[in-house]
Amino acid sequence: MKVMTSIKPICSGCILIKRKSKSGVLRLYRYCKTNPKHKARQH
């Protein structure tokens, strides 16, 4: 998983999900069903 400063969907299979970490920080994750290399987290 890459850690990036800005996250946007790359292809039509990319999904953006907001999740809270243990410390309570809201983080943005990108998952992709068609290409798993697109997996990333916003810094």
Give, as one character, the DSSP assignment of residue 37: G
Helices (H), 1-43: none
2-32 residue pLDDT tens: 999 999 999 999 999 999 999 999 999 999 9
- Strand intervals (E) in the chain: 2-4, 14-20, 26-32, 40-42
Q: What integer pLDDT is reported at residue 5 of this predicted model?
A: 96
Contacts of 26 (CB under 8 A, 6+ apart): 18, 19, 20
Please give the backbone phi and psi of residue 36, each rounded to the nearest 5 degrees, phi first: -65, -15
Predicted model pTM: 0.84
Q: What integer pLDDT is reported at residue 9 of this predicted model?
A: 97
Cβ 42 vs Cβ 1: under 8 Å: no
